[in-house]
Chains A and B, each alone.
Chain A
Amino acid sequence: MEPFKTITALAAPLDRVNVDTDQIIPKQFLKRIERSGYGEFLFFDWRRIQEGPNAGSPDPSFVLNEPRYAGAKILIAGKNFGCGSSREHAAWALSDFGFRAVIAPTFADIFFSNAGKNGIVLIKLSEEDVALLLDRAAQTPNYELTVSLENQTVTDTQGFHATFEIDPFRKFCLTEGLDDIGLTLRHAAALDTFEKQHDQANWLKPKFSEASV
């Protein structure tokens, strides 16, 4: 996982609420067994014209198809971003497309966890701040934001300055780019002890009859 300290990058506004993971990456791309290469399918249905003679070709009105947002690394969106299915493919697609941070008023739980595991920083700001940033990103050419994970701040060159909360341990993992399994295995001895004891609880065994013979 790529460590995240501070980035200054182009910000793209996705002015929609409840953006669900079915939209971020539609199901037909979940059949792949690889972990990479999902970027080109990000927001697949929204990026394409759905009906009429031009169905299937890129929809120029969709924000991420606008040339001025090419190369954006920061996405700004409405509340409850990432709701719905648990597919980590949503995080893979965002990351593969080049996004390193998403700013929104709130995020859904499972997506929140998946994003962190892929080095994407999720930043919760107030609805007012997000509305302001959505507006600036839509109005200002080449609108850049600076996200500093170390200082927990989001700033622009027009005087915007906001701080955000992040769980200290999550921050530590993101800034260091740490692998979760490695972190857990620091507790291997405690786990062995716990598990031995826990295995005595027969009523918590998945396959009781097989385990008991």
Chain B
Amino acid sequence: MSNQPKTLFEKVWNQHVVVSPQGEPTLIYIDLQLLHEVTSPQAFEGLRLTGRTVRRPDRCIATIDHNVPTVLAERFNIVDQIAAKQIATLRANCKEFGIQLFDIGSREQGIVHVIGPEMGITKPGMTIVCGDSHTSTHGAFGALAFGIGTSEVEHVLATQTLPQSKPQTFRIAVEGELPKGVTAKDIVLAIIGKIGTDGATGCVIEFAGSAIRALSMEGRMTICNMSIEAGARAGMIAPDETTFAYLKGRRYSPQGAEWDAAVAAWSQLPSDPDAKFDRELVIDATTLVPYVSWGTSPGMVAPITASVPNPADTPNESDRRAFERALEYMDLKAGTPLDEIQIDRVFIGSCTNSRIEDLRAAAAIAKGHHVSTHVSAMVVPGSQAVKDQAEVEGLDLIFKAAGFDWREPGCSMCLGMNPDILTPGERCASTSNRNFEGRQGRGGRTHLVSPEMAAAAAITGHFTDVRNWAEISQTAEVN
């Protein structure tokens, strides 16, 4: 048994089994719980009502990201009283139970899935949970990380464990060299488009292959982040030299001899060569292009070179109706070339694409140009640390000169729980992860794209193939 080849997932899972009682789910130990203001208040309240406490405050961290305004002056005087109360509640709970909080105004505040990795809190081999479905982001380090509901948040606070049934394993190998202008975001949009939003339900995906190994940690996080959009419980990528180089020297990473021991332990984690997966899929990276979502589900994506598809081509009746409904909501006609769709807003941000590398890529497109006259565009760094770094590099100046709004860190218009929202009918090129009806504001129309594609659309005013940016940016189309 122990000599059998194992997958990355199985190795991490096995190291965390507390008990596995006959006929019951396995009890898994949780190394780290991340907390934020929205999904935690009822969990803490539950603890108080039952006279329980937080078992391991040292294995929790908290931050404020979902509700926080992204305009500096509004951050310390939040007008929305319900949001303000939720934030005050998190502060009080962290104080009462001794949990470290990275509060608004601190140098560490940011989107929970951005700050964990950048402080070196997220590490290979860990089990990580958070009351947020995009916890899958942390799987980029070879951690088993997944989103949970509030009852489970309470369960982990009280016991540092979770009962879990063992998921299936699904290996998606992306092989070959990614063409220029095609990004990690495009890889994951292509995968979701191919397997569907329920294509990996019940599975932990391991992303592998030469195209994945060639990605930076930022790119890997973008991919694991959106595994939930394919229905997966989690996404994982084997730790390697890129992972170790990213973690080395970070605030909460091990140091000295402990660092060497940690690297030795982490190096054991990658899937054994003959490990068996329940499902496998191979994607040819060389065939990928920039993608744009056209509908109200992340599976509704098409290449930038394509047109809005025709519902009549969908064989399944219920899918066809969903498809028609999506076109109606999005106010799009089948057959319209995607690069002719005009936009009103651009949002560069969210836990999918708000890291320093994303901002560098968007700034490289924006540099020397100006946002189209009919577009309003904003850049929201994922964390205070990303913002500070971007300012050191002068990216803020590039964005501002190009007419982008440069904001304070938070989730912002990814879900519009703070004041940043679309108004009904507005069309937005967004680097976030969900294009559901009303996600960015009631009646708002979201198109998911990479940071490069979002920046290019901001400048031309319509979706634009960034692969041709060198030529396009010279022509009169750009104003």
Which A residues form the contact surface with B (CB < 8 A)? 15-18, 20, 22-23, 26-28, 30-35, 45, 50-51, 78-80, 83-89, 91, 106, 108-110, 113-114, 117-118, 127, 131, 167-169, 180-181, 183-185, 187, 190-191, 194-195, 198, 201-212
Contacts and interface: CB of A to CB of B under 8 A. Distances in A.
A84 B415 contact: no
Given A78-B318, A108-B201, A185-B159, A84 B442 contact: no
Q: What is the predominant secondary structure among interface residues of chain B facing chain A? A: loop
B309 interface: no
12 contacts: A18-B197, A27-B415, A51-B443, A85-B133, A91-B149, A110-B149, A181-B158, A187-B18, A187-B21, A195-B29, A206-B59, A208-B254
A181 B18 contact: no
B31 A204 contact: yes
Nearest to A168: B23
Interface of B: 15-16, 18-19, 21, 23-25, 27, 29, 31-32, 38-39, 41-42, 45-46, 50, 52, 58-59, 61, 66-67, 80, 82-83, 85-86, 89, 100, 120-121, 123-126, 131-133, 147-152, 154-155, 158-161, 163, 165, 197-198, 201-202, 231, 233, 251-255, 258, 261-262, 265-266, 297, 318-319, 321-322, 325, 415-417, 424, 434, 436-439, 442-443
Contact of B160 (A33, A83, A195): A195
Q: Which label, helix, strand, loop or mixed, suits the secondary structure of the A interface?
A: helix
Contacts of B59: 206
Q: Which 8 A-B pairs have the closest CB atoms?
A: A203-B262, A88-B149, A114-B149, A33-B41, A86-B147, A117-B151, A88-B150, A86-B133
A106 B231 CA distance: 11
Contacts of A87: 38-39, 149
A124 B263 CA distance: 44
Contact of B155 (A83, A118, A180): A180
B159 A191 contact: yes
A83 B133 CA distance: 10
Contacts of B252: 206-210
Given A88-B150, A108-B198, A181 B52 contact: yes
Given A110-B148, A208-B253, 18 more contacts: A15-B318, A16-B321, A28-B417, A31-B82, A31-B417, A33-B41, A33-B89, A50-B424, A83-B231, A118-B151, A127-B318, A168-B23, A180-B163, A185-B159, A202-B254, A203-B262, A207-B121, A208-B120
A28 B148 CA distance: 20
A12 B262 CA distance: 55
A209 B251 contact: yes
A145 B198 CA distance: 27
Contacts of A85: 132-133, 415, 434
A162 B83 CA distance: 45
Contacts of A117: 149, 151-152
A138 to B, nearest CB: 14
Contacts of A114: 149-152
Contacts of B41: 33
A79 B58 CA distance: 40
Contacts of A168: 23
B85 A33 contact: yes
Nearest to B253: A208
B18 A45 contact: no
Given A26-B438, A80-B198, A211-B58, A184 B424 contact: no
B322 A16 contact: yes
A156 to B, nearest CB: 21
Contacts of B443: 50-51
Residue in B38, B261, B416 with the greatest tally of chain A CB atoms within 10 Å: B38
Given A33-B86, A117-B152, A22 B434 contact: yes
A79 B318 contact: yes
B438 A45 contact: yes
A106 B163 CA distance: 22
